[in-house]
């Protein structure tokens, strides 16, 4: 069937900010869909509140709206754009929920907008648990026993009919927020109350626990001719009871016979038909009782999901792209498989490798939260690894996580861990359980025992046991030879160098006597099992580089295999590779063929991605990497992407000329470099991950383009940097760097408290603190040193009450373009990633702006930056202090690009490849007619018990953007985007610390003028009353009669302004902030934030917000500087 | 672990380890791309004379069980994988794959770059190969391999067909109701799952040896004739071709796989050998009548040449969407149709099981006429 002709304009809804449970996979799917639909000639209107996405680049859609994702705003966009159809199945749960509300509110009918992919009834049937259960039973499938509850009373009744443990799942939420497992009535009441609260329709499902069963997922696609295919099967290593997003998962399913797999496949086909998903992808989860094979259906997502992104990357089958084409009328057999080019999309990919996905947690950011896993998702990112065996893929995944492990290694000596602790860590699912399985094996615990404790299938435990056993062989039979070998090789290399005959590294086989030839085979086998050079180096007490050199001299080199959807049955064209240790290298073959065909010498640039998302390093960096690739392609370079994050656009095989799905470690990156031999490597776009590799790559002779490694080092090295700043005559807060506790204390007492203490070479303010006295400093220092790993700990004088400013600029070595100056809304001291900021600055004087630009220029030129540069300044009493200089892509680069229409990353990439700023028509002096506000989105609701106060350690997972003509409106929009909309009326609670008390009066008066009523705690109330402001007093303690907590719980408070008091413990306010999170009351913790909020409230009371597309905002300007 | 070599007739060789029986074996080397169902593959008689390479690298994960067999024995000549599972896990498993292969004296090799081997077979075509755990001399292997007959022209059916006629009954299952149809099935290497499905559809299936005469078949007064799958070159299975010619128009006929090729030949057409065959569980096939696409289980090295058939008599009803080859034929006048792939699956998707219903309808129709 050809494409539909009854629709011309399609509205696509994105998924908003990166939050736990919804990450950049929806940027990937949305971008794919936009591209596919525009290819078909449709006009695309896109809306997303997240500026760090590729999809919100103005060239991806025809009209791009960065506006809040809620029904009211989308309706305004529909009213303005009049699309014929809406495609809600590619923007995660957010888009689906909004589409449902638009439908319920009659908006779609009013404007005659069709729903593509899945209509209202279908979504309802799949999402509403009762409807879904009925559908499952109707097609003869099984479900866990369950019942619904809307009140606590109903929940208690349910518990009496079904046996504990019980699972509680709220209906209509993201990533299982508010769910849990209850083992007794007490737990049930707690969890059910929370669940009813967080459910959009105040409903929870109470269900027979199938905890410990095996968990599977199938990715299904259907077209309008009722053709259905399974794209991929996924088996979870972690059993039922742990959210899939937090589980280690494997593709394809490993322990199902064909009969069981086909039964699951048939069930999926029956379900997608019964639910009635017309076209597109769905994801269906199953649980299987390991004792008898009883299979039950868990749930179904009638949309593209995190798992479909994973399935796409795992198989090479682009689910989102095809889903988009199916939605507009094509059938599966009418779409060609891009990879084979000769076979249609109506097939089921078959793979000849094993894929392992591992979740990335950031519990270290929330020390108060336990790293225990359950049905509510906690991980912030993931890495995927491909190997020829599970063992290889698992070890690659573990080193790809970048959590300090080089594989399934021995970071902790198992002998030092008490048995009881191991038992506990095995029994209670947690973030490091996989390592405890190994410790248990090292303690000679049986596979059965471990399987029983963990409820993980013995197949997986045995695979891990094989790694552990082989490690034993390496330790006993290989390490000695490795030592001898590396020594021999070093000697030989030295001799060769002296003779000037440095050949290919020579042969280090001298250490291998004839009968010891086995050693070579053991080493080869070790590599096949995924042992990294770093792991082997630690075991043999030699350097990683030495292992690498030895290995290469023995001919043990990584080989690359292609991901081709068909297990080599057909010739594949799409260049997507993974490394393994086999006999044939397909990347080499492909490169030879390309060279033969090329008319001109090939020019290649390799871009190192950012690895798994984490707090501090997320989609913003992937955004930059993608742009580097696009920009360099335009210049005629072949681009090569290396990354390990399956959620991203950068790991779409369409993004670069060749994609290597590899962990971002020195070893894995070097393997690719040796095969590709790129002319240059870009390390400054992928965040701290590739930057940390820069030095070693440089030392290994790799050509790093852009800012030199020496300059990067200068910016990171405190002492060098301090003298650099001094030489330029600029100001810096007093500081020092220290390697010991003694030095730290000395520096702190020299420069005076408060100080900002932090480790070096980290991103996202990891383990960064403002410390007010020596005692706290002592406490903190331990952690900082751990995180710093041999690098010095940095101590800065903390400048209180300063305005912080972020600057993004591009430098070509000769001139500088200051792309954006962002004024933080919160004072210095709050991590720039967590702080809201506004562009252009709204309270800084023109002369200061000029001075900031001037300082930026001097720093950039003198640091010899080629490419992007980010500087953080603090302004106090008219003086400008340089806080930090980062000669790399910054978290704010995409925001600045969206705010100004200048594609920073693109320009920077081309400059790194030799262009000059003068090649682009850029002007700093244009005044923007609009204001952009970036607001961060915090994951506190996921981590119970964590205080929500912001500080120098970054905690946010994502960001949103509000654009409008005034600051107030832009700020108010940003708050709506961040799901903390400011109230237009009602009651506001104000409680501020002593320092803020004198400033609050003015604010309070304005709020009264705006017809709000105020409540305060005793201290603040006194100040307000003395200023003539009417205020009600409440008790902040729970015991009090008229206490704040009760008011919050009764939803009587609409906004909380609470600034914490310095270093003092704020335990009573903590409970209030926690309650605010729970009841979704916006909570402002800084005075500056409060000012901005009042501004925003005023703007929202003034008039209804209007919506405007990016193209409209800066159409002319954008065209002018199109690259 | 003893070393093993896989030597191909074009001189290429791969070194791996033998995990089961040692010795030497030879056959046509083919690859199978199914990710599950190794036990069904091993016991599928259509693989007689072939060394099977599994493209999925981890084999043996769920062990073996007594239920998932497609015949009474293992028919492959050799089995080549990347990695055998040391410890299987599945609630139905009764034995490990390695033990099972040992028991059936099948030489199995692991540790081979099966993707490189598959690519090689794709580029150069399926070819003869030899596995040895004792002879590593390439010249000597080449000589031995030369003596092995090629797949083309070889009659493998007589190796796997039943010696005498029998009536199928699934193990452990009591006949629930009286069978509605009597089917004569010619066993060229029939898979049990075909018999199971016919049974489920109310058929009493009489399984005949491949050299059965038309008169013997008619003696049981069948409602329909079924032509089974089987190994090797269809052109040499002359007894069955002759039988099919005799039955055409007199009995409803349904053929699967080799049965499809035999139908093609019986109707005056020709067959040819595919470069590397279809062996897997993910081929899209379009039912040209309903326009629906099914994902199919495939296992064949030969194919019917549509051009060789009279378009007035025979029509193409199913087509492979990957390479547009023949996947199903129907006679325009007689109640006769055949399918090149495996609607009975095992292993693979069961999307095409509706074809058995069609056979039943044909028999119903035929019965009424009588």
* Residue B319's CATH number: 3.40.50.880
Preferred mutation among B14, B60, B95, B115 to probe A, highest tally of A CBs within 10 A: B115
β-strand pairing of A9-13 with A43-47: parallel
Domain containing B173: what range? 157-369
Same domain, B211 and B355: yes
Among the partner-chain residues B62, B295, B345, the one whose CB lies closest to the CB of A348 is B295
CB atoms B282 and A347 under 8 Å: yes
Residue A513 pLDDT: 42
Same domain, B261 and B355: yes
Q: Which residues contact A98 (CB under 8 A, 6 or more apart)?
A: A13, A69, A70, A71, A74, A88
Same domain, B252 and B302: yes
CB atoms B35 and A252 under 8 Å: yes
Q: Is the peptide bond between A21 and the residue preceding it cis, with omega within 30 degrees of 0?
A: no
Query: Which residues does chain B have within 8 Å of residue A586's beta carbon, measured at their own beta carbons?
Result: 119
Q: Which two tokens stand for residue B343?
A: 């609607």
Summarize chain B as % helix, strand, coil (round to 5).
25, 30, 40
How many contiguous H segments (helices) and E segments (strands) does chain B have?
A: 10, 19
Active-site annotation holder among B278, B318, B331, B342: B342
Judged on CB neighbours under 10 Å (0-12, 13-18, 19+), A621 is buried
Query: Which residues does chain A have within 8 Å of residue B321's beta carbon, measured at their own beta carbons?
Result: 333, 343-344, 346-347
Same domain, B117 and B60: yes
- Which of residues B146, B178, B213 is at a domain's end? B146
Among the partner-chain residues B83, B322, B349, the one whose CB lies closest to the CB of A265 is B349
Does B166 reside within a domain? yes
- Which of B32, B323, B123, B53 lies closest to A586, judged by CA? B123
State which residues of chain B have pLDDT below 50. none
CB atoms A459 and B349 under 8 Å: no
Q: Is the peptide bond between A691 and the residue preceding it cis, with omega within 30 degrees of 0?
A: no
At residue B280, the 3 state secondary structure works out as: strand
Among the partner-chain residues A260, A266, A390, the one whose CB lies closest to the CB of B58 is A390
Same domain, B193 and B332: yes
Mean pLDDT of all residues in chain A? 90
Same domain, B46 and B183: no
CB atoms B293 and A252 under 8 Å: no
Preferred mutation among A567, A571, A583 to probe B, highest tally of B CBs within 10 A: A567
Among the partner-chain residues B33, B62, B92, the one whose CB lies closest to the CB of A569 is B33
Residue B16, domain CATH:
3.50.30.20
Active-site annotation holder among B110, B120, B203, B257: B257
Preferred mutation among A230, A257, A341 to probe B, highest tally of B CBs within 10 A: A257
Same domain, B127 and B274: no
CB atoms A584 and B116 under 8 Å: yes
Residue A1120 pLDDT: 45
B275 touches chain A (CB under 8 A): no
B283 touches chain A (CB under 8 A): yes
Query: Which residues does chain A have within 8 Å of residue B289's beta carbon, measured at their own beta carbons?
Result: none
Does B170 reside within a domain? yes
CB atoms B57 and A354 under 8 Å: yes
B176 touches chain A (CB under 8 A): no
CB atoms B291 and A225 under 8 Å: yes
To the query of whether residue B159 is one of the catalytic residues in this protein, the response is: no
B346: left (phi over 0), alpha (psi -120 to 50) or beta: left
Question: If you count them, how many residues does chain B have?
Answer: 370
Beta-bridge mates of residue A109:
none
Same domain, B135 and B163: no
Q: Which two tokens stand for residue B322?
A: 């990957």
At residue A288, the 3 state secondary structure works out as: strand
User: Which residue in chain A is spatially nearest to B35 when comparing CA positions?
Assistant: A350
Question: If you count them, how many residues does chain A have?
Answer: 1123
- Which of A570, A571, A588 lies closest to A579, judged by CA? A588
State how far the alpha carbon of B343 is from the alpha carbons of A868, B200, B350, in Å. Answer: 60, 14, 6
Please identify which residue in the block is written with the tokens 């799958």: B229
- Which of B254, B288, B205 lies closest to B362, judged by CA? B254
Q: Are A181 and A243 in contact (CB under 8 A)?
A: no
- Which of residues B122, B146, B170 is at a domain's end? B146
Same domain, B242 and B116: no
A·B CB contacts under 8 A: 163
Q: Is the peptide bond between A754 and the residue preceding it cis, with omega within 30 degrees of 0?
A: yes
State how far the alpha carbon of A504 is from the alpha carbons of A371, A405, A496, A584, A1096, in Å. Answer: 48, 31, 10, 21, 66
Q: Which of residues 214-243 of B touch A (CB under 8 A)?
A: none
Does B152 reside within a domain? no
Q: Which residues contact B14 (CB under 8 A, 6 or more apart)?
A: A583, B5, B6, B112, B113, B116, B117
Judged on CB neighbours under 10 Å (0-12, 13-18, 19+), A666 is buried
At residue B169, the 3 state secondary structure works out as: coil
Same domain, B233 and B190: yes
CB atoms A346 and B283 under 8 Å: no
Q: Which two tokens stand for residue B204?
A: 């009493």
Residue A774 pLDDT: 83
Preferred mutation among B284, B288, B344 to probe A, highest tally of A CBs within 10 A: B284
Please identify which residue in the block is written with the tokens 């009669």: A1041
Q: Number of folded domains in chain B?
A: 2
- Which of residues B146, B170, B190 is at a domain's end? B146
Residue A1121 pLDDT: 45
Angle (deg, nearest 10), helices A306-315 and A319-327: 110
CB atoms B56 and A351 under 8 Å: yes
CB atoms B89 and A457 under 8 Å: yes
State which residues of chain A have pLDDT below 50. 501-510, 512-516, 1063-1065, 1118-1123
Residue A490 pLDDT: 75
CB atoms A569 and B280 under 8 Å: yes
Sign of CA dihedral B87, B90, B95, B97: negative
Same domain, B269 and B134: no
Angle (deg, nearest 10), helices A433-442 and A419-427: 140
Query: Which residues does chain A have within 8 Å of residue B126's beta carbon, measured at their own beta carbons?
Result: none
CB atoms A462 and B31 under 8 Å: no
Residue B370 pLDDT: 74
Q: What is the CA radius of gyration of chain B?
A: 20
Nearest-neighbour CA in chain A from B254: distance (Å)? 24
Same domain, B120 and B182: no
DSSP per-residue string spanning A135-185: HHHHTT-B---EEEESSHHHHHHHHHHSPSSEEEEESS-STTTT-EEESSH
Residue A508 pLDDT: 47
Does B237 reside within a domain? yes
Does B151 reside within a domain? no
Does B124 reside within a domain? yes
Does B188 reside within a domain? yes
Could you give the CA distance from residue A422 to residue A401 in angstroms, rounded to a whole number? 22
Q: Are A385 and A400 in contact (CB under 8 A)?
A: yes
Phi, psi of A339 (to 5 degrees): -75, -45
The HSE-up count of residue A673 (CA atoms within 13 Å, CB side) is 20
Does B362 reside within a domain? yes
CB atoms A350 and B347 under 8 Å: no
Query: Which residues does chain A have within 8 Å of residue B280's beta carbon, measured at their own beta carbons?
Result: 350, 567, 569
Query: Which residues does chain B have within 8 Å of residue A570's beta carbon, measured at their own beta carbons?
Result: 122, 322
To the query of whether residue B257 is one of the catalytic residues in this protein, the response is: yes
Query: Which residues does chain A have within 8 Å of residue B119's beta carbon, measured at their own beta carbons?
Result: 568, 584, 586
């Amino acid at each position: 069937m050809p494409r539909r002709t009854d629709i011309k304009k399609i509205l696509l809804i994105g998924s908003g900010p990166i939050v736990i449970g919804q990450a950049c996979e929806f940027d990937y799917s949305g971008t794919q869909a936009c591209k596919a639909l525009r290819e078909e000639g449709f006009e695309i209107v896109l809306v997303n509140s997240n500026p760090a996405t590729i999809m919100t680049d103005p060239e991806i859609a025809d009209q791009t709206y960065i506006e809040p994702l809620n029904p009211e705003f989308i309706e305004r966009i529909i009213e303005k754009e009049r699309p014929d159809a809406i495609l809600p199945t590619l923007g995660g749960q957010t888009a689906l929920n909004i589409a449902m509300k638009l439908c319920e509110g009659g908006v779609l009918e009013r404007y005659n907008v069709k729903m593509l992919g899945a209509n209202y009834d279908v979504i309802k049937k799949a999402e509403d648990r009762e409807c879904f259960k009925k559908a499952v039973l109707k097609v003869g499938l099984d479900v866990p026993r369950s019942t619904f509850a809307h009140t606590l009373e109903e929940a208690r009744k349910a518990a009496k009919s079904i046996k504990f443990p019980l699972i509680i799942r709220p209906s209509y939420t993201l990533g299982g927020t508010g769910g849990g497992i209850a083992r007794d009535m007490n737990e049930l009441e707690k969890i059910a109350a929370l669940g009813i609260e967080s459910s959009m329709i105040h409903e929870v499902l109470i269900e027979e626990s199938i905890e410990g069963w095996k968990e599977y997922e199938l990715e299904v696609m259907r077209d309008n001719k009722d053709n259905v295919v399974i794209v991929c099967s996924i088996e979870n290593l972690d059993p039922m009871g742990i959210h899939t997003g937090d589980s280690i998962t494997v593709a394809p399913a490993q322990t199902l016979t064909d009969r069981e797999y086909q039964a699951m496949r048939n069930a999926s086909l029956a379900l997608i038909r019964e639910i009635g998903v017309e076209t597109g992808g769905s994801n269906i989860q199953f649980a299987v009782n390991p004792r008898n094979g009883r299979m039950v259906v868990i749930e179904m997502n009638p949309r593209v999901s995190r798992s479909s992104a994973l399935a796409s990357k795992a198989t090479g089958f682009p689910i989102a792209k095809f889903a988009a084409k199916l939605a507009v009328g094509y059938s599966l057999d009418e779409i060609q498989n891009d990879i084979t080019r000769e076979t249609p999309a109506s097939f089921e990919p078959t793979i000849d490798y094993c894929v392992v996905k591992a979740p990335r947690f950031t519990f270290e950011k929330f020390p108060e939260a336990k790293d225990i896993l359950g049905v509510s998702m906690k991980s912030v990112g993931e890495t995927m690894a491909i190997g020829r065996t599970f063992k290889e893929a698992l070890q690659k995944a573990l080193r790809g996580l970048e959590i300090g492990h080089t594989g399934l290694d021995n970071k902790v000596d198992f002998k030092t861990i008490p048995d009881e602790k191991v038992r506990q860590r095995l029994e209670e699912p947690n973030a490091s359980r996989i390592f405890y399985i190994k410790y248990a094996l090292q303690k000679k615990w049986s596979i059965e025992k471990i399987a029983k404790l963990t409820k993980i299938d013995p197949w997986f435990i045995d695979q891990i046991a094989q790694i552990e056993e082989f490690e034993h062989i390496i330790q006993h039979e290989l390490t000695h030879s490795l030592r001898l070998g590396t020594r021999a090789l070093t000697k030989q290399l030295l001799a060769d160098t002296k003779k000037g005959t440095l050949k290919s590294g020579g042969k280090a086989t001298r250490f291998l006597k004839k009968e010891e030839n086995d050693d070579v085979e053991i080493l080869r086998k070790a590599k096949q099992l995924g042992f990294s050079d770093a792991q082997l180096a630690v075991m043999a007490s030699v350097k990683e580089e030495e292992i690498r050199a030895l290995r290469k001299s023995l001919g043990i080199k990584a080989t690359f295999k292609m991901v081709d959807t068909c297990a080599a049955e057909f010739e594949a064209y799409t260049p997507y590779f993974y490394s393994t240790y086999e006999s044939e290298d397909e990347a080499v073959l492909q490169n030879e063929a390309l060279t033969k065909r090329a008319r001109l010498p090939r020019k290649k640039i390799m871009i190192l991605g950012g690895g798994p998302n984490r707090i501090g390093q997320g989609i913003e960096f992937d955004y930059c990497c993608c742009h580097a690739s696009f920009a360099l392609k335009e210049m005629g370079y072949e681009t090569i992407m290396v990354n390990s994050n399956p959620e991203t656009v950068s790991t779409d095989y369409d993004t670069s000329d060749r994609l290597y799905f590899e962990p971002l470690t020195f070893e894995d990156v070097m393997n690719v470099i040796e095969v590709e031999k790129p002319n240059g490597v870009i390390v400054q776009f992928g965040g701290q991950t590739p930057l940390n590799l820069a030095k070693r790559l440089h030392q290994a002779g790799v050509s790093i383009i852009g800012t030199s490694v020496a300059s990067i080092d200068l910016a990171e090295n405190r002492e060098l940097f301090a003298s650099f700043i001094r030489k330029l005559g600029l100001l810096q807060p007093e500081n020092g760097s220290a390697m010991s506790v003694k030095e730290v204390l000395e520096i702190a007492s020299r420069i005076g408290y408060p100080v900002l203490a932090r480790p070096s070479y980290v991103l996202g303010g990891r383990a960064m603190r403002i410390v007010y006295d020596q005692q706290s400093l002592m406490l903190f220092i331990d952690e900082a040193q751990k995180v710093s790993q041999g690098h010095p700990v940095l101590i800065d004088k903390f400048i209180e009450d300063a305005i912080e400013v972020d600057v993004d600029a591009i430098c070509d070595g000769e001139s500088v373009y200051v792309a954006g100056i962002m004024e933080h809304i919160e004072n210095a001291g709050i991590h720039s990633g967590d702080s809201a900021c506004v562009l252009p600055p709204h309270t800084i004087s023109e002369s200061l702006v000029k001075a900031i630009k001037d300082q930026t220029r001097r720093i950039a030129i003198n640091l010899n930056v080629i490419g992007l540069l980010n500087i953080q300044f603090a302004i106090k009493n008219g003086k400008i202090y340089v806080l930090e200089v980062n000669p790399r892509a910054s978290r704010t680069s995409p925001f600045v690009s969206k705010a100004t229409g200048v594609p920073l990353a693109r320009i920077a990439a081309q400059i790194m490849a030799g262009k000059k700023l003068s090649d682009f028509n850029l002007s700093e002096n244009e005044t923007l007619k609009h204001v952009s506000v970036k607001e961060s989105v915090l994951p506190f609701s996921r981590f119970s018990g964590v205080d929500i106060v912001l500080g120098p350690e970054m905690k946010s997972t994502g960001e949103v953007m509000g654009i409008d003509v005034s600051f107030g409106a832009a700020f108010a929009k940003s708050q709506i985007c961040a799901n903390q909309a400011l109230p237009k009326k009602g009651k506001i609670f104000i409680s501020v610390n002593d320092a803020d008390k004198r400033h609050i009066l003015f604010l309070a008066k304005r709020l009264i003028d705006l017809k709000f009523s105020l409540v305060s705690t005793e201290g603040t109330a006194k100040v307000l009353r003395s200023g003539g402001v009417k205020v009600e007093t409440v008790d902040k303690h729970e015991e009090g009669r008229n206490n704040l907590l009760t008011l919050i719980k009764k939803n009587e408070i609409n906004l909380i302004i609470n600034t914490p008091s310095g270093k003092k413990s704020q335990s009573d306010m903590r409970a209030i902030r926690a309650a605010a999170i729970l009841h979704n009351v916006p909570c402002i913790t800084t005075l500056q934030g409060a000012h901005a909020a009042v501004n925003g409230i005023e703007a929202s009371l003034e008039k209804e917000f209007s919506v405007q597309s990016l193209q409209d905002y800066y159409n002319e300007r954008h065209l002018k500087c199109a690259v | 672990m003893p070393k093993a070599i896989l030597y191909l007739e074009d001189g290429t060789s791969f070194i791996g380890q033998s995990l089961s029986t040692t010795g030497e074996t030879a056959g046509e080397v083919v690859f199978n791309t199914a990710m599950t169902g190794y036990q069904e593959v091993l016991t599928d008689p259509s693989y007689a004379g072939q060394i099977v390479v599994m493209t999925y690298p981890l084999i043996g994960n769920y062990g073996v069980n007594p239920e998932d067999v497609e015949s009474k024995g293992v028919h492959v000549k050799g089995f080549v994988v990347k990695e055998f599972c040391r410890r299987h896990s599945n609630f139905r498993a009764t034995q490990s794959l390695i033990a099972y292969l040992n028991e059936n004296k099948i030489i199995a090799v692991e540790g081979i770059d099966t993707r490189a081997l598959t690519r090689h077979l794709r580029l150069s075509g399926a070819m003869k190969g030899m596995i040895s755990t004792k002879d590593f001399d390439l010249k000597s292997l080449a000589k031995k391999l030369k003596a092995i007959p090629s797949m083309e022209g070889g009659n493998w059916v007589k190796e796997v067909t039943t010696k005498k006629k029998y009536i199928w009954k699934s193990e452990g299952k009591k006949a629930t109701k009286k069978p509605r149809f009597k089917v004569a099935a010619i066993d060229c290497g029939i898979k049990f799952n075909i018999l199971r499905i016919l049974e489920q559809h109310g058929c009493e299936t009489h399984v005949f040896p491949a050299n059965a005469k038309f008169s013997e078949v008619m003696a049981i007064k069948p409602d329909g004739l079924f032509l089974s799958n089987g190994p090797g070159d269809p052109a040499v299975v002359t007894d069955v071709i002759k039988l099919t010619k005799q039955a055409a128009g007199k009995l409803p006929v349904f053929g699967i796989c080799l049965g499809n090729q035999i139908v093609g030949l019986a109707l005056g057409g020709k067959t040819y050998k595919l470069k590397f065959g279809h062996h897997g569980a993910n081929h899209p096939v379009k039912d040209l009548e309903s326009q629906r696409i099914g994902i199919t289980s495939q296992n064949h090295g030969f194919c019917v040449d549509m051009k060789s058939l009279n378009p007035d008599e025979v029509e193409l009803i199913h087509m492979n969407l990957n390479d547009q080859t023949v996947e199903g034929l129907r006679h325009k006048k007689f109640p006769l149709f055949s399918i090149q792939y495996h609607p009975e699956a095992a292993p693979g998707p069961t999307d095409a099981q509706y074809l058995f219903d069609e056979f039943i309808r044909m028999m119903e129709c035929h019965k009424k006429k009588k």
